[in-house]
A and B are shown apart, each in its own frame.
Chain A
Amino acid sequence: MLEIKGLNAWYGESHILHGVDFNVQEGEVVTLLGRNGAGKTTTMKSIMGLVGRREGSVKFRGQELADKMPNQIARAGIAFCPEERGIFGSLSVTENLMLPPIVAPGGLTVDEIYAMFPNLKERARTAHGTRLSGGEQQMLAIGRILRTGAKMLLLDEPTEGLAPVIVQQIGRTIREIKKRGFTVLLVEQNFRFAATVADRHYVMEHGKVVDMIPNRELEANMGKLHDYLGV
């Protein structure tokens, strides 16, 4: 569904990605693991066209996106949930939820999103999205892209800094949306969490993908993974 080949990216003068290659099949949950600064977030931003300069190929459903603008990439059916969550303080919770335009039919309805995140329904009248707790903001950030009909989701560290009970809820959400046929590319620092949701893991180092580990072989590769991640 998503095929990345030889992806290079720059922020100003600094060359961050040095030829990233990987692919995500339809219906899969795939993670990008790696230490801080390995290029995981930059990979996601490059897919969305949010870096200064990029080269290489980003193919989505056979369509080349590497030369497209972020809005065209979103319209092709990829939705992005950034690491900093990107909740807008000048918008109410409901306005945040309704902000991303519908890009394709088949998204979740607002009621389905509220059923998945009951907290959001209670907080729907909150006037400023940033008044929500960190966990609620994360749910809002995920919930609002489920509405758009995009079937490929890029989630950048959705569990970062959240309480264990919220992390579990996000894990349930990812398994639930996978069941509904969404495809997910997930950036994670926490591979124990990643192991509970993912089909495959790519390991990144110094702006490259250096390894691929299927989730069922994760246990056998624990030693290698510890070396990669330095944990």
Chain B
Amino acid sequence: MIMIFGIPGPLLFGQLLLGLINGAFYAMLSLGLAVIFGMLNIINFAHGALFMMGAFCSWMLLNYLGIGYFPALILAPLIIGAFGIVLEKTLISRLYKLDHLYGLLLTFGLALVIEGLFRNAYGSSGLPYRIPQVLTGATDLGFMFMPNYRGWVVLCAAVVCFATWAIIEKTSLGATLRAATENAPLVQAFGVNVPRLITLTYGGGIALAAFAGVLAAPIYSVNPNMGTNFINTVFAVVVIGGMGSILGSIVTGFALGVVEGLTKVFYPQASATVVFVVMVIILLTRPRGLFGKAA
């Protein structure tokens, strides 16, 4: 067996892969948070709950309507994204003129209510969601066995993150978004319907969270707390990457997942806290985050 730093190779690579998977979820979730924060100036604490709703939505589509995994990968983000649009239209849009804190409180409250409702209806022990048949099994990579579904998750996350980055940085829609982030009134005075753009941005960020939720459903059990488990780390990722930075949230998300994975190998006791230790170090040395622009 190959040994690396006194650690068996398969163990090391296994943890690296696990880290990469967690990192994929961090990246997708913090990306949505970054887009929403940039455009709406809202710290969306409901993000984890909406991620969880994405997972539940795919479970419901399967168990109530017989709609399988792959259609759910498209449908659940659309359904939950539409739900996000309703939230933005009816509640969040009332807070734009107020302090950040109100948006934070509202979305935090929403998260508690949504999670409470799901706990009431489905309990908190978790519901199983099977890996689709074609993605079961594992592939021998030579140095380790990789479960196919895990590879699929990393691939999907990378594609979605890249696509989101490309839309924002390389298209005219993205240019309008970036401009509205900088100076919304002027962009509106050019003839752009900025309120509608904001609504769609929120819907898009939520759809990303729901997409991540569907990907997560077969890996983690579908349960009302699955969002909360992730979201604490995701907020640390956002702080480390730099508030509102698109590239920052993607790179930091994947990187911190890997850091976490490696810590599990070399010093397991610290694996739950390492992300927060990094956050403290970054806040002390570079308060605007790794990719954040100076205020």
Contacts and interface: CB of A to CB of B under 8 A. Distances in A.
Query: Is this pair of chains taken from one and the same complex?
Result: yes
Interface of A: 48-50, 69-71, 73-75, 79-80, 82, 86, 88-91, 95, 98-101, 103, 145, 148
A74 B183 contact: no
Interface of chain B, helix or strand or loop or mixed?
helix
Interface of B: 172, 175-176, 178-179, 181-183, 185-194
A74 B192 CA distance: 8
Interface of chain A, helix or strand or loop or mixed?
loop
B189 A71 contact: yes
Contacts of B176: 99
Contacts of A91: 175, 178-179
Closest 5 CB pairs of A and B: A74-B191, A100-B190, A95-B175, A70-B189, A70-B188
Nearest to B174: A95
15 contacts: A50-B189, A70-B189, A71-B188, A71-B189, A73-B189, A75-B191, A90-B181, A91-B175, A91-B179, A95-B172, A95-B179, A99-B179, A99-B190, A101-B191, A148-B191
Nearest to B171: A95
B201 to A, nearest CB: 15
B182 A103 contact: no
Nearest to B186: A86
A146 B94 CA distance: 35
B169 to A, nearest CB: 9
Contacts of A50: 185, 189
Given A49-B189, A74-B190, 8 more contacts: A50-B185, A71-B194, A75-B191, A80-B186, A88-B178, A95-B175, A101-B191, A145-B190
B191 A98 contact: no
A89 B182 contact: yes
Contact of A86 (B172, B183, B193, B194): B183
A95 B170 CA distance: 10
A197 B187 CA distance: 28
A88 B189 contact: no
A49 B188 CA distance: 10
Nearest to B188: A70
Contacts of B172: 95, 98-99
Residue from A49, A69, A79, A100 with most neighbouring chain B CB atoms (10 Å): A100
A159 B192 CA distance: 27
A99 B172 CA distance: 7
Contacts of A148: 190-191
Contact of A82 (B186, B188, B193): B186
B113 to A, nearest CB: 32
B179 A88 contact: yes
A74 to B, nearest CB: 3
Given A71-B193, A71-B194, A90 B188 contact: no
Nearest to B184: A70
A191 B286 CA distance: 49
Given A101-B191, A101-B192, A148-B191, A88 B183 contact: yes
Contacts of B185: 50, 70
A88 B193 CA distance: 18
Contact of A90 (B178, B186, B191, B192): B178
A186 to B, nearest CB: 17
B189 A48 contact: yes
Contacts of A103: 191
Contacts of A80: 186, 189-190
Nearest to B176: A99
Contacts of A69: 188, 193
A101 to B, nearest CB: 5
A130 B175 CA distance: 15
B179 A90 contact: yes
Contacts of B189: 48-50, 70-71, 73-74, 80
